[in-house]
Chains A and B, each alone.
Chain A
Amino acid sequence: MTLLQSLTTELRRGTLTLAVLSQLRKPQYGYSLVQSLEASGISIDQSTLYPLLRRLEKQELVTSSWDTSESRPRKYYVLSEYGTEILQQLKEEWKKTSDELSILLKGEEEDESD
């Protein structure tokens, strides 16, 4: 792994939780979640996603249930009340960070063009 790659992974790691939580307002199973994330351009390593889901469940941010009514049983995940609350706060944090960063980066671009 190059330095750029590992820095990028590090940068993305924190946003992953936010991305996953944002897609779980309605129940989703593993693969449907992958698809909806990919639809918005976020490619996520599947070997990271499934363990992440279980971790979120352990942290009580999501709840899970097995749906056996269809041809193949699927495990559905959905935000818990606590998870909805956390998601709201995380979203605000993210907006703040992204605003701050864009100001910083804009300043840097102007410096460059001077």
Chain B
Amino acid sequence: MNLIELYIQEVTRRLPEKSRKDIGLELQSTIEDMLPEDFTEEDVKEVLKKLGNPAVLASGYRDRPQYLIGPEIYDIYISLLKMVLPIAITISVMALVAEKVMGYSGNESVMQVILSVIGKGIWNAISTGMQVFFWITLVFAILERTGTGIAQYSMTTWQKEWKPEDLKDIPYVPKKKAITRWEVSGSVIWTAIWGSLYYYASNLVGVYRSGDNGLELTTPVFNEHVLHSYWPLVVIAILLELLLAISKFRIGKWTMRLAFFNLSTQFIAFVILIIIFTNNQIFATAFMDLLSIVSAGQKELIGAVIIIFGISAAIDVFSGFRKARI
């Protein structure tokens, strides 16, 4: 008798509270049915052996899924992870770079700052990755347990029933026209880098000399207040570039409209650059003095900057149109 009660307890303790009593009673009567009239402990053992491992029996009764994320929503879970992880990691690293650049006091050498950014950046990337992984997994595990109905219909296919006609709505993206995710994050990172350089020009952009604390910035290139008086134009350029990156990400391939958008963004940025650099006061006098030592003039420097920027912008615009036309 004792063995039977122990067996039933082993099964029912693994079951939800409300079904314990009923299943326990049924098991009890089933076991008694299986036993002969005058049974010995050996008979009981024989019967319990037939019923098998109580944990296995209990798991048969449970209708809760024994997995974290089921096949219906696994697809979308993986694709969401692949989409969100790189973006989150990029943002976290960018935030770190911005923080380091903004908090730059001039006491540390540039090399030290770069090394600490790399070290902390790796750590940030790992911890952000784990955070994102955890939260997305948690949300999907909850969805699996509560919203399977919703999940079945709307997650796997995003539609109730798949029809061959649905294929017509899917844009065909040839490899040559495609804009990769890396391209988009690359351009966002580039915007963040030049934006920070602009904001912290007087601390970052200049002539470096090796001093007591490693490299030291001795002569800033720009006249800070002149440079910063152009802030509304710079903000416009940053916004345009971000908007371009978002459109690239959403459309996913080069189209004529996108190519024209790219052209206007590059053109406006180019014009802003010319406006800023043709200001006579833009360079710091100390820097101009240094320049005259190597017998280079302001005009040559400005010319070089504008030409380099112009050529790279033209290449970018041209390749956009070329890809759009394929």
Contacts and interface: CB of A to CB of B under 8 A. Distances in A.
For the complex, would chain A's binding face be called helix, strand, loop or mixed by DSSP majority?
Answer: helix
Contact of A50 (B32, B60, B63): B60
B33 interface: yes
B33 A50 contact: no
Contact of B25 (A45, A46, A50, A75): A75
A75 B26 contact: yes
Nearest to B59: A51
A31 B34 contact: yes
Contacts of A29: 29-30, 33
Interface string A41-83: 0000111101110110010000000100000111100000000
A66 B50 CA distance: 24
Interface class of chain B by DSSP: helix
B130 interface: no
B56 interface: yes
A22 to B, nearest CB: 20
Contact of A72 (B32, B53, B60): B32
B29 A47 contact: no
Contacts of A31: 30, 33-34
A66 B32 CA distance: 16
Interface of A: 29-32, 45-48, 50-52, 54-55, 58, 66, 72-75
11 contacts: A29-B30, A31-B33, A32-B33, A45-B52, A46-B51, A47-B53, A47-B56, A48-B60, A50-B61, A51-B60, A72-B29
The 7 closest A-B pairs by CB, nearest first: A51-B60, A31-B33, A47-B57, A47-B52, A30-B30, A51-B61, A75-B26
